[in-house]
Structure 1
C-alpha cells in the first residue's frame, strides 16, 4: 500500500513547464531537447539538460503517446529464437529501436508446433496494445504465410528467406488490403554461389550436401541455390535431407552415408557442404570416427559462422550472414514505413526483397581436392 509520503511525492513529479521555467526557455524548446531535435543550440541544450537533471524530470510515455497518437512500441514476432541468427537479429532491432525512442514488445513463436492461428492471435494482442508497426522474423513457411496474411493497417516488415512454398511476390499479393509491407532477407543465393565457386576453384567435382529441414525457408533457399550453381559449374552433388538443424541428426545421417559408402566401395565425395554450422559439426564428428581427415581426405563447409567456428579443429570454412546489419535495417525500414526516417539502402534487391550480404569465411577445413 502506498504511504502518504509516496502519494505526496508522486504529486510533486516535475512537469515540462517547470523544466522550462527553470531553464528560462519555452516548453517547446524543452520538448525539442527531449526528442533530440537538431534545431536546438548546444548551449541551450546543455542548459535544459541541467534543469532536467536538477529537477529529476522524466518524460511521461503515456503523455507522449497521447500527444503523438503513437505508443512508440513495435510488435516483434519471432520464430526460431533459440538459433544464433535470430538472436543476433533481435539484438540489433532492439538497439536501433531504443536509439530512436521506441520500445520492443516481443512475441515468441515455437515454429515447430504453433500454427497460423497462433500468429494471428499474437498479432491481435499487439493491436490491442496499439503497436505502431510489426516486425516478423519468419523462418518457416507457416510463419511467412501467417505474417503475409495477417490483416492489419499497421506497417509490417517481414524478415525471411526469399524461397519457399510461397514466394515473396505471392506474399505481397496476400498482403493487399492490409497496411504497407516490406520484405528483407539475407542474400543467400550470392552466398551459395560464392561457396560453389570456391569449391570448384579448388578442383572439387563431387560433393555431399546436407540440407536443412524443408519447412525452413533458409533451407529451401540454400538448397535451390546450391543445386543451381552445381549444375552451372559441373559439380556432381549428392543431397542428404535432414529433418532439423541439429548436429545430432547430421552425425547420424553422415554415419549412415559413410557406412553405405564403405559397404558399396564407392568413392568418397571430396567435399561436404552443410546448410548450417551445427550440421557441419555433426558431420565432422562422424568423419573423424571413420578415420577421415579434414581437409586432407574430405573438405568441409558450413553456413552461419556461429561463435567458435574459427576455433573448431580444423577452423571451419563457413558463410557469415550479417545478421546484425539485417536487424538494424529491418528496424530502420519499420521507421521509414512510419514516416520516421528515410528508407535504408540495400546492396541488392532481388526476388521482391531487400537483401543483406553474407561473407564467405575461408578457413582450413576447405582445401584443394584430393584425387581418390
Structure 2
C-alpha cells in the first residue's frame, strides 16, 4: 500500500502504519514522539512505513496522548511594520524547528486596552497554549502584558524605555516570576550613530522622533538626546505622531521653509527614528534642492528592504529582528525546560538585549564646510 490514503480512500491510521512495519501502535507512537526508547532498526522500519503510506500524525491525538498541546500563544502589536513581522517570522520558524506550533493573535497597538488584552489571553488559554510571547511596542500593551493574569510562562518582546513610570512598575512585577523579556539594544546603537556623526565633523543635527507612545521611539529619543549631549552635537528634536513618511515629509518641509524665512542655518545632518521617515525626508530635501550627502547627510533606523537602493543608499541601523525572534523563542523553550537558558549578549533594565549594527552607506558623509 502506498500514497497518501488508507483503505477506502481514508487517511491512513497509526494502526495501518504499525501493521505495515510489523510493530505495535505504541511503538509507532514512540517513534512519532521522538522517544529514545526505540532501536535504530525499528525506527527505520516505522519511518519507512510512514513514508510509504503518507501518514501524518494527528496533532489533537498527540496532544491528548501527551497531555501537551505543544502550542505557543503569540499576541502581537505593530504588525503593519517591518520589525514586528520579521520578528514573528523568526519566532514561527524556530518554534516549528522544535516541533511547536504558534497560535497568533494580532491586535491594534494604539487601541488595545488592558481588558482587550486579557480577552485575547483568555481565547488562547482556551486553546491550551503552553506559553505566551507578547510583542508589545507601546506602553499600554507592555503594561497589559506585564499584568496579564496568566499562569503560563511568558516572554515579552519590547524596548527598554517608555514614556512613563507605570511601565517600570509593571516590569518590577515580573521580577523572579516565570517570565523573560528580550529586545534590541537600541540605546547603544543610537550612541554609535551619534559617535559616528561626531567623527565625521557633524555638530548640528535635526532628529525626527517617532510616536511617543511607542517604546522604540522613547528609547531612541532618550538615547539620541543623551548621546548628543555627550558628543557636543547641537540637536533639534522634531516630534511626530506616526512613523509615516508622509508626516516626516510635511514636518521637514515646514522646518526647511521656516529656516528659509528666518535666514537660519540648516543642520549638516538629519537623523530619523525609522527608515519610513527617512524616505519622506529624502523627498523634502530633493524638492528644496538640498543634495544628499553633499549639502546634508541623512541617517535612518531599521534597515527595511530597499533602503540600500535609495539614491543615495541610506545609512541606517540594522536591529537584527530575526535574531530577536529566535531569542524570544529560545527563552520560551528554556522556560518550558526543553533547553538550557541561553546567555544574553547584553542585559539592561532587566531586559536581555540583542546587539544592533550601524550600516554606513553613501547618504552619510563628512559634514560640509559652511
Into which bin does the TM-score normalised by the smaller protein fall?
over 0.9
Match of 1:197? 195
Q: CA deviation at 1:46?
A: 2.8
**Contact 1:135–1:158, Cα closer than 8 Å, also in 2:** yes
Which range moved further: 17-26 or 269-278?
17-26
Which of 219, 224, 227 aligns to 2:222? It is 224
**Contact 2:206–2:237, Cα closer than 8 Å, also in 1:** yes
Q: CA deviation at 1:35?
A: 3.0
Q: How does 1:217-296 map to 2 (within 5 A)?
A: 217-296=215-294
Residue deviations 1:70-124 (CA, integer Å, cap 9, x gap): 2111111110101000110010111111111211111111112222211111011
Q: How does 1:299-338 map to 2 (within 5 A)?
A: 299-338=297-336
**Contact 2:142–2:167, Cα closer than 8 Å, also in 1:** no
Q: How does 1:1-372 map to 2 (within 5 A)?
A: 13-15=12-14, 18-25=16-23, 29-36=27-34, 43-164=41-162, 165-166=164-165, 170-175=169-174, 180-372=178-370
Say if 1:139 and 1:166 are closer, same or farther in 2 by CA, change over 3 A: farther
Partner Cα separation in structure 2 for residue 42 and residue 262 of structure 1: 78
Q: CA deviation at 1:47?
A: 2.2
**Contact 1:209–1:239, Cα closer than 8 Å, also in 2:** yes
Unaligned runs of 5+ in 1: none
CA RMSD of aligned residues (A): 2.2
Q: CA deviation at 1:37?
A: 5.1
**Contact 1:168–1:351, Cα closer than 8 Å, also in 2:** no
Q: CA deviation at 1:33?
A: 3.0
**Contact 2:6–2:12, Cα closer than 8 Å, also in 1:** no
Which aligned runs of 4 or more in structure 1 are off by greater than 6 angstroms?
Answer: 5-8
Q: TM-score, normalised by structure 2?
A: 0.92
Partner Cα separation in structure 2 for residue 344 and residue 167 of structure 1: 29
SS of alignment partner, residue 237 of structure 1: strand
**Contact 1:168–1:183, Cα closer than 8 Å, also in 2:** no
Unaligned runs of 5+ in 2: none
Residue deviations 1:146-200 (CA, integer Å, cap 9, x gap): 10010110010000011002577533333479x6111000010111011011111
**Contact 1:168–1:352, Cα closer than 8 Å, also in 2:** no
Partner Cα separation in structure 2 for residue 279 and residue 38 of structure 1: 54
Q: CA deviation at 1:32?
A: 4.2
Name the count of aligned residue pairs.
365
Q: TM-score, normalised by structure 1?
A: 0.92
**Contact 1:169–1:351, Cα closer than 8 Å, also in 2:** no
SS of alignment partner, residue 269 of structure 1: coil
